[in-house]
Chains A and B, each alone.
Chain A
Amino acid sequence: MNTNTKKQTKYLEQATERITGSEAVVRSLIAEGVDIIYGYPGGAIMPVYDEFYKYQDEIHHVLTRHEQGATHAAQGYARISGKVGVAIATSGPGATNLITGIADAQIDSTPMVCITGQVPSHLLGSDAFQETDIVGISTPVTKWNHQITTAEEIPEVIAKAFYIARSGRPGPVLIDITKDAQFDSLDFTYQKCNGVRSYTPVPEINKEALMASADLINSAKKPLIVWGQGVILGQAEEEFKAVVEKTGIPAAWTIMGVSALDTSHPLNVGMVGMHGNYAPNILTNECDVLIAIGMRFDDRVTGKLSEYAKQAKVIHFEIDPAEIDKNVKTDVAVLGDAKASLAQLLPLLQKNSHSIWLEKFNELSKIEFEKVIKNDLYPTKEGLTMGEVIKEINVQSNGKAAIVSDVGQHQMIACRYAEFTQSRGNITSGGLGTMGFALPAAIGAKMATPDREVVAVIGDGGYQMTIQELGTIFQTKTAVKIVVLNNDFLGMVRQWQQLFFDKRYASTVMTNPDFVTIAKGYHLKAKRVTKREDLAEAVETMMASKTPYFLEVCVEKEDNVFPMIPSGASVSEIRLE
């Protein structure tokens, strides 16, 4: 993308100028197109904050209420926009508080650059005040990290950081900058990074593998596509849709892949995995060719590996060579980015339809509807269900809202039932399962796309892990809509205790505060719903609000999420009750 703004080009490849390291940090960020940065100040990063003060018209620093919030906000920003999210913190505890968000970004392939201040270089290794070995600590959870100890390194390392974070399979990068490097001066020029010799971001597409995959797809009688976030990260939505429609192959998604194809598309057969839909899970073990696109066969997707799609030939379209054969042995692996691979695949495919095979999905879907979906979305019992809240949000948003979910029962319900007509609509902590993700991530998502409706759906447990970010919402007036589905339980853990630990509810009962009063304490509009007849109007009011809005829905306390593949069971052993 060569769409550098005027602001960016101001610092790109201009004549050398003598400036401080800290000013170089800020100018480098602007040159990379960064408009918003999330963070929290402290001793070792103060020189950079002093520059934020000077450059506040060019770069907007958002003060989160905890460094973890800064990372999740940067993730939300990145997930919805595709741009690199940026978080900044001081040394020591500021830096260690970033780790959860970094680990989350690593496992969910989110482009993010984190900058941390560090004690002056002469104090490194001496157990100085607020010193922590953040490069050592972050190594296993970053795509790349680096410590800067001299001002001269700053522009080049930041350029490399952004290049690595966004290219290939994206991921988080951490740059640790000693305080003396921030204070010292350098001759500043900025050049974007275009390559690193030891790093091949996108492997070349092997034509023979591509042909072999096309042959398998063309001759398949019962093919199944399972796609993941790779389709979104590779901006391959159109190419993907073309492949699905030309071949007529039923396509199922992982939690990270949903929204790449409209949820109402006739060939979209739903979600795979532990709480996914009945049909695609059962039929994973009946298909003859399994076409995996930009997904990584996570254990939550595959269930018992030794009984996963054993009858099928497996084709894997994947950008990361380390994923090939990592969990599931493939028959044909096509390395490359999804957009290019699918574009080249399309002309090799024969037009087809698999109506009899597709009918099997419909039959199983009907069973799931009768046993599960009907009760979730159209309940007749007194208590409210999580599903009917999501359904109401669908109605009010026409599937255009981005749904930012946290982790647990509400997340599974949100992902199962949210309707999407736009890509990058589902923002959730998929791989790491980070409770507390949603509230700050929604802030980042809304700031990145102010015109898009952003609804955070959160459980009462996860909400209280990052509830302090209400302060950020209040201060920045970010118009996120917050829906807390309150069952006064850590619901998913309670469900497991019910099913697998004889209802011994160890530490899953939550005695909760008055969430509406708390929201009002932050001067947010807030409402609580306890009855079905009030739900539609409450959701409508929330969606119509131009300002941030908090809605608590008190739902049935001991509802369970089904279908469910018990851990260690095969996908075809999925339970409906």
Chain B
Amino acid sequence: MNQYTISVYTENNIGLLNRISAIFQRRHINIESMNISDSEIEGVSRFTILVNMTEVNVKKIIGQIEKQIEVIKAFYHMDDDTIYLESCMFKIKSDLLFEERQIQNIIKDSDARIVTVNRDFFVLEKSGRRREIEMLYRELSAFGIMQFVRSGRIAVTKDEMRISTILDAFNN
């Protein structure tokens, strides 16, 4: 089993999320995280899916994803083939920011960013690798975290994916 990042370029259609997630469900594969956003091409969506599975199976999954009518192209990558990160947010009591010197050091050392501060709480944001976020979580949890949330992985690949070429080929 390896960790794979799957990139799927699709049309922006209602129901496609269901169609793609069903392919994983059929094979009893847990999706570690999924992110759907615009892509570099207008009107084309991009799914970034993180899964743990064997390479043999990830190839089969890619075939079954690409088979869906509104999927333009799907790829799978090892971590080394991509530049990837996750984002997270912490909501923490404002008092702690002033009472606990240590917190200010943690924020500085971790490259986290304060998004907002008010009388009751402040919000911290951090983007980076999973282990950096986990480390920050561990350090802050000693002081108490009111809320924590982490996004799915997003990734860009080192190699080109040539989606525009595929779409241009259709138009010509």
Question: Which chain B residue has the least Cβ–Cβ distance from A145?
Answer: B15
Q: Which residue of B lies closest to A199 (CB)?
A: B69
Q: Give A147 to B16 CA distance when docked, in angstroms.
A: 12
A140 within 8 A of partner (CB):
yes
CA of A324 to CA of B26 in the docked complex: distance in angstroms? 19
Contacts of B60 in A (CB 8 A): 322, 325-326
Query: At the interface, yes or no: A6 with Cβ under 8 Å from chain B?
Result: no
Minimum C-beta distance from B113 to chain A (A): 38
Which of A135, A136, A195, A320 is close to B67, meaning CB atoms less than 8 Å apart? A320
| Contact between chains at B59 and A198 (CB < 8 Å) | no
Bound together, the chains give a CA A195 to CA B171 distance in angstroms of 10
1/0 per residue A503-521: CB within 8 Å of B? 0000000000000000000
CB-CB contacts of B21-43 with A at 8 A, as 1s and 0s? Answer: 01000100000000000000000
- In the complex, whether A369 has a CB less than 8 A from a CB of chain B is no
- Bound: A144/B13 CA distance, A: 12
The binding surface of chain B is classed by DSSP as helix
CB of A140 within 8 A of CB of B69, answer no
Q: State A135–B167 Cα separation when bound (angstroms).
A: 27
14 example contacts (A-B, Cβ-Cβ < 8 A) are as follows: A136-B18, A139-B15, A139-B19, A139-B22, A140-B26, A143-B69, A195-B170, A198-B10, A198-B11, A199-B69, A199-B70, A322-B60, A322-B67, A326-B60
Q: Is there a chain B Cβ closer than 8 Å to A164's Cβ?
A: yes
Complex Cα gap A164–B64 (Å): 16
Q: How many whole Å from B38's CB to the nearest CB in chain A?
A: 16
B63 with A326: CB separation less than 8 A = yes
Interface size on B, residues (CB 8 A): 21
Q: A198-B69, A199-B69, A325-B60 are in contact. List 16 more A-B contacts (CB 8 A).
A: A136-B15, A139-B15, A139-B22, A140-B22, A140-B26, A143-B69, A145-B15, A195-B170, A197-B72, A197-B170, A197-B171, A198-B10, A198-B71, A321-B63, A321-B66, A321-B67
B→A interface (CB under 8 Å): 10-11, 14-15, 18-19, 22, 26, 59-60, 63-64, 66-67, 69-72, 167, 170-171
* A196 in contact (CB, < 8 A): yes
Are A135 and B64 in contact, CB atoms less than 8 angstroms apart?
A: no
Interface residues of A (CB under 8 A from B): 135-136, 139-140, 143-147, 164, 195-199, 320-326
Q: Closest CB-CB distance, A167 to chain B, in whole Å? A: 10
- Closest beta carbon of chain B to A324's beta carbon, Å: 7
Contact B63 A322 (CB under 8 A): yes
Contacts of B167 in A (CB 8 A): 197
Which chain B residues lie closer than 8 Å to A325 at the CB level?
Answer: 59-60
Q: A-B pairs with the 9 shortest C-beta distances?
A: A322-B63, A197-B170, A198-B72, A144-B69, A140-B22, A322-B67, A199-B69, A322-B64, A198-B70
CB distance from B10 to the nearest CB of A (A): 7
Most interface-central of A135, A139, A145 (chain B CB within 10 A): A139
